[in-house]
Amino acid sequence: MKKGNTLFFKTRPRVRSFAAVCGSKEREGVIGGYADVTLTDDMYGESTYEKAECKMLSNAISLAVEKGRLTDSDIDVMFSGDLLNQIISASFAARDFQFPFLGLYSACSTMSEGMLLAAALCDGGFAENCVAATGSHFASAERQYRYPLELGCTRPPQSQWTVTGAGACVISQDTGDIAITNATLGRVRDWGVTDVNNMGAAMAPAAADTLIRHFNDTNTDPSDYDIIITGDLGALGSRILKDLMWEKSLDISAKHVDCGEIIYKVIEDEFQGGSGAGCSAVVMNSYIFTKMSAGLYKKVLFAATGALLSTVSSGQGESIPCISHAVEFETVPSDC
């Protein structure tokens, strides 16, 4: 069923299991105690950053499947994507498994796009268990989007730090204590921001657009949620989002948390906080879902945000089109 741009899941598919792998910098922060695997060396025993990124993603998927007491043959399809050109982390991770694979690209909003589609396939009766997964790696993202690390370039103060980490969850038809009740589809918004170091400012209008449509379609307001969590707007982007929402008479300030803002313990080089597809993937699939399972959050709205630029589009003078897909979670008694 749908209303406006929101899909309502009548069978309320469940988050059956979740897993996260995070890097050495990330383990020092809030998710350090929640992630399943925390690396001491971000190369993860591989010869290249890209292979390390793929290994993190593959391991997060394996762990999520295992924690759900499932095997590969129980998984109907995996939704995954990442930031690398031609989503090679996801495609090569999918090579490690025997189940079908549907590749996504939605930049840093891949986690919520995957969850949304997985829930739709489960609710529509097309799948019993789907995997939704994504990840990113600071070093592979830097050299693809910006400069090789070896150059030692100075980062501007409005920039964010791509998270080294991967998260995966299994969305199932009926097992688990976290239900997915509905999801709001994102639209591409572009307010003309051209500064590729200021993703937060570029993505905030997309997040606001999705949240406003979500509240409208679901007849809710910010006070109905225990927490409203965005993907990786960072400190500056979050401030812009709160202002944009406030202008529409929706005050989210008491409920809003941004994964990028909370992921690092001490903000030094990270300036505005974390970013990258792995940012919300790790925070959701460790910290948030653990807190939900423990009953600390009952109703959560998750809106991951993605900046759909490339080095080519920016080089050709284009501004940054952005998107945000939102997914709503609610805890249910575990015997339901």
Contact letters (x/-) for a second copy, 243-262, by CB under 8 A? --------------------
Residues in the chain: 336
Least separation in angstroms between residue 109's CB and a second copy is 9
Q: Is 84 in the site for a second copy (CB under 8 A)?
A: yes
For a second copy, which is the closer residue by CB, 40 or 98? 98
Q: Does 321 bind a second copy (CB under 8 A)?
A: yes
Residue 220 as a binder of a second copy (CB under 8 A): the answer is no
Indicate whether 273 belongs to the interface with a second copy (CB under 8 A). no
Per the CB < 8 A criterion, the answer to whether 74 and 38 are in contact is no
SS in 3 state form for 206-266?
HHHHHHHHHHHHHCCCHHHCCEEEECCCHHHHHHHHHHHHHHCCCCCCCCEEEHHHHCCCC
Residue 330 binds to a second copy (criterion: CB under 8 A) = no
Q: 15 burial class (0-12, 13-18, 19+ CB within 10 angstroms)?
A: buried
Q: Binder to a second copy among 50, 142, 177, 270 (CB under 8 A)?
A: 50
Q: Which of the ranges 19-27, 157-165, 264-272, 310-318 carries the binding residues for a second copy, by CB under 8 A?
A: 310-318
Cβ-based neighbours of 307, under 8 Å, separated by 6 or more: 107, 108, 199, 202, 203, 320, 321, 322
- Write the CB contacts of 268 (distance below 8 Å, at least 6 apart in sequence): none
Within positions 118 to 177, which residues make up the interface with a second copy, using CB under 8 A?
120-121, 123-127, 144
| Phi, psi (rounded to 5 degrees) for 167 | -135, 150
185 binds a second copy (CB under 8 A): yes
**3-state DSSP assignment of residue 108:** helix
- Residue ranges in contact with a second copy by CB under 8 A: 1-2, 5, 7, 47-48, 50-51, 76-77, 81, 83-88, 91-92, 94-95, 97-107, 113, 116-117, 120-121, 123-127, 144, 185-188, 190, 308-313, 316, 318, 321, 323, 325
